[in-house]
Amino acid sequence: MIKLEAIEKSFADTTVLTGIDFEVDKGEVVCLIGPSGSGKTTLLRCLNGLEIPESGRITINGDSIAFSHKQKKYPINNLRRHTGMVFQGFHLFPHKTVLENLIEAPLIVKKQKRAPLVKQAEELLNKVGLLEHRNKYPDQLSGGQMQRAAIARALMMEPDVMLFDEPTSALDPQLVREVLKVIETLAKEGQTMVIVTHEMHFAKKVADRVLFMDHGVIIEEGPAENILVNPEKEATQDFLQLLVDE
């Protein structure tokens, strides 16, 4: 489903990603963990074309882009067509109601008909438990509700892969669960997902595979049990110990 080859990325003179290779299979749930500044968010954003790597190749569901620092413009929608993005800060459109947020892109980008879209949106809202809030503005929702709406908005484009960038980091502790539950449901339905997260219990529960990143490289990867319970590398052990200490 996803294949990354030798991805390099730097901001100004700091290297953020150095030679990243990894693959995600269809239906797989992969969690990216690691200390802040390790490059995991940047890696996720590369998959959606929000960051452009200097070199390497990204292939998602058959569409492939090879990057080089000589080139500036890429047919980035070839990647975006397959991916849905959920942000740490939700980024719902505040001037549109929840329902309008959901149907905006399919209506405008895919030029789909409104009536079936509304039906589809209402089904999704029902699934994330927001049907009764469909005519509210984002400003009237709690953080957890906003994030669930944002997930539904991304799902409306029927992406092959869902990308989550620390989806619960901006939430109050008591709102984290309702968002994680939605993501778990998606996992059970076989949705392919790449999730950047600090929620280790969640990662253990939901991830087929966990990648630990540090200083722009993948230090180790494997089944959740192995990485989170019995990590081999010292950097991973230190990182997990730090979380336990907290």
Partner 1 sequence: MIEGFDNIQWHYLFNPELAYDSLPLLLEGLQITIIIAFSSMFFSLILGLVVAIMRMSRFKIFDLPARLYISFMRGTPLLVFIFILYYGLPVIGIQFTNPIVAGIVGMSLNFAAYNAEVIRSAISSVSRGQWEAAQSLQMSYIQILRRIILPQATRIALPPIFNIFMDIVKGTSLASVITVHELLYSARIVAGRTYESMTMYVAAALIYWAVCIIIGFFQQRLEKRYSRYLYTR
Question: Which positions ≥6 away from 4 have C-beta within 8 Å?
Answer: 20, 21, 22, 23, 43, 46, 47, 56, 57, 58, 59
How many chain residues are in contact with partner 1, going by CB under 8 A?
29
177-236 positions binding partner 1, by CB under 8 A? none
Of residues 104 and 122, the one with the C-beta less far from partner 1: 104
Of residues 80 and 209, the one with the C-beta less far from partner 1: 80
137 binds partner 1 (CB under 8 A): yes
CB 166, CB 131: distance < 8 Å: no
105 binds partner 1 (CB under 8 A): yes
Q: What share of the chain is helix, strand, coil (3-state, %, to 5)?
A: 40, 25, 35
Shortest Å, Cβ 141 to partner 1: 9
Which residue in the set 64, 93, 114, 241 belongs to the binding site for partner 1 (CB under 8 A)? 93
Q: Which string of x and - marks every residue 46-85 that binds partner 1 (by CB under 8 A)?
A: --xxx--------------------------x--xx-xxx
Whole-Å CA distances, 230 to 40, 194, 199, 204, 241? 21, 22, 17, 12, 12
> Can you tell me which residue has the tokens 């980008």?
109
For the chain, the first-to-last Cα distance in angstroms comes to 36
Q: Using CB under 8 A, which of the segments 112-120, 122-130, 133-141, 207-215 binds partner 1?
A: 133-141
Q: What are phi and psi of 8, to 5 degrees?
A: -120, 135
Of residues 65 and 235, the one with the C-beta less far from partner 1: 65
Residue 161 pairs in a beta bridge with 83, 192
Residues near partner 1, by CB under 8 A: 48-50, 77, 80-81, 83-85, 87, 89, 91-96, 104-105, 108-109, 137-140, 150, 153-154, 157
